[in-house]
């Protein structure tokens, strides 16, 4: 049998792995309210590399509020070999809250939400779209936002296609209390757990929950620091994995072995053993330490291009984290901006 004939019999995922730039895991991405927009006149490579929303606010436009911008997003999700199946979508809060407060689904804002969610489910096969909340306080105010999504799904969405699939929480307040006393930490965990209980109140379908963790949150002074919660003693990240349907880990690294080492510290093996989806989040946005992001700067760590990022994703398996799914932080920030030739636009 020829090599070509044999390859026809291989599963599609194995076929794709012939290319070292392809990772067969379904990606996820954060979509924040505003992001770089190279369609705006004057928003060229110079302003892209400067990445200064204060000096160049016109270059940072809403990420999804028009048909053209949504098409840009959905086409980015459908890039062959880098398919995004999980989208954490910001700027839904005000529309959903108003509907809940006023018991009124008949508004232009809710119509936009319905259109956006249905459009995503139609244009991106298998898409899971999450409402993203990021109050990021110790009180975990995000727990009070879940009811807005539940109300929308139970009262405003007119079909399964219009329902929001989940709630994603980006609350980084735990980083400041990871070495605090047990009462402080368990109070935070209880607040996180409320997100799960609120989501379970939805009547129409299941509302998934997702949480973003820092790779070092289970450590205090570089040592794992167990805490007892719900009758179980383990480090905080284990409890967070238990609470949510899925988690992503902000690894703050763009090379191996750093990425894999930090995933293991953040309980990658535990998540895999209990069949919880776990994502490895890499930064593409501009940061102060060049080795923590793929943003295009001169740096002695990593290859700061889209191709370099995808190459890193293709190495998950050979570095012991093959069941982790890549998460890109974030859409048009700088992934799929078209800001320069190294970061093409996928629209």
The ranges assigned to domains in the chain are 24-329
For residues 112-138, b (16+ Cβ closer than 10 Å) or e, as one string? bbbebbbbbbeebeebbbbbbbbbbee
Check whether 107 has a pLDDT greater than 90: yes
Q: What is the percent of the chain where pLDDT is above 90? A: 91
- Minimal CA–CA distance to 39: which of 59, 56, 53, 19? 59
Average pLDDT, the chain: 94
Q: With bands split at pLDDT 50, 70 and 90, how would you rate the model's confidence at 24?
A: low
Dist CA 34 CA 4 (whole Å):
46
Place of tokens 């002074």: 221
pLDDT in tens, 118-128: 999 999 999 99
pLDDT at residue 277 in the model: 98
Per DSSP (E only), the strands in 143-262 are: 166-169, 208-214, 219-220, 223-224, 227-229, 232-234, 246-250
Check whether 14 has a pLDDT greater than 80: no
Dist CA 331 CA 340 (whole Å):
15
Dist CA 289 CA 287 (whole Å):
6
And the tokens for 331?
Answer: 């859409």
Q: What is this structure's pTM?
A: 0.93
Q: Mean pLDDT over residues 253-267, rounded?
A: 99
Tally of helices (H runs) and strands (E runs) in the chain: 12, 14
C-beta of residue 266 within 8 angstroms of C-beta of residue 215: yes
What is the enclosing helix (H) or strand (E) of 150? helix 146-151
Q: At 296, is the secondary structure helix, strand, or coil?
A: coil
pLDDT in tens, 286-343: 998 999 999 999 998 999 999 999 999 999 999 999 999 999 999 999 999 999 999 9
CATH architecture of the domain with residue range 24-329: Alpha-Beta Barrel (3.20)
Backbone angles phi, psi at 234, to 5 degrees: -165, 170
C-beta of residue 120 within 8 angstroms of C-beta of residue 78: no
Place of tokens 């807005």: 148
C-beta of residue 230 within 8 angstroms of C-beta of residue 239: yes
pLDDT at residue 347 in the model: 87
Q: Mean pLDDT over residues 238-260, rounded?
A: 99
């Amino acid at each position: 049998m020829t090599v070509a004939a044999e390859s026809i019999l291989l599963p599609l995922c194995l076929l794709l792995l012939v290319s070292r730039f392809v990772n067969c895991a379904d990606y996820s991405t954060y979509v924040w309210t505003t992001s770089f927009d190279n369609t705006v006149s004057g928003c060229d490579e110079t302003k892209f590399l400067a990445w200064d929303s204060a000096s160049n606010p016109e270059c940072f436009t809403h990420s999804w509020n028009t048909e053209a911008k949504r098409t840009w997003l959905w086409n980015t999700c459908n890039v062959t070999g880098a398919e995004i199946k999980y989208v954490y979508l910001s700027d839904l809060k005000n529309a959903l809250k108003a509907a809940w407060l006023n018991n009124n689904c008949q508004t232009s804002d809710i119509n936009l939400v319905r259109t956006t969610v249905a459009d995503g489910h139609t244009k991106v096969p298998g898409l899971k779209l999450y409402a993203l909340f990021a109050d990021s306080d110790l009180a975990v105010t995000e727990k009070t936002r879940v009811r807005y999504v539940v109300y929308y799904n139970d009262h405003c969405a007119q079909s399964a296609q219009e329902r929001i699939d989940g709630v994603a929480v980006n609350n980084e307040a735990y980083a400041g209390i990871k070495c605090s006393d047990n009462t402080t930490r368990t109070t935070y965990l209880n607040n996180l757990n409320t997100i799960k209980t609120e989501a379970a109140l939805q009547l129409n379908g299941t509302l998934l929950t997702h949480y973003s963790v820092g790779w070092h949150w289970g450590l205090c002074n570089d040592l794992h620091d167990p805490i007892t919660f719900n009758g179980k003693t383990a480090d905080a990240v284990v409890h967070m994995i238990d609470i949510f349907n899925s988690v992503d880990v902000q690894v703050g690294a763009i090379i191996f072995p750093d990425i894999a080492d930090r995933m293991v510290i953040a309980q990658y093996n535990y998540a895999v053993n209990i069949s919880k989806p776990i994502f490895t989040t890499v930064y593409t946005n501009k940061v102060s330490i060049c080795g923590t992001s793929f943003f295009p700067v001169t740096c002695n760590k990593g290859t700061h291009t889209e191709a370099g990022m995808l190459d890193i994703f293709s190495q998950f398996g050979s570095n012991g984290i093959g069941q982790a799914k890549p998460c890109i932080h974030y859409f048009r920030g700088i992934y799929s901006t078209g800001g320069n030739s190294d970061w093409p636009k996928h629209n």
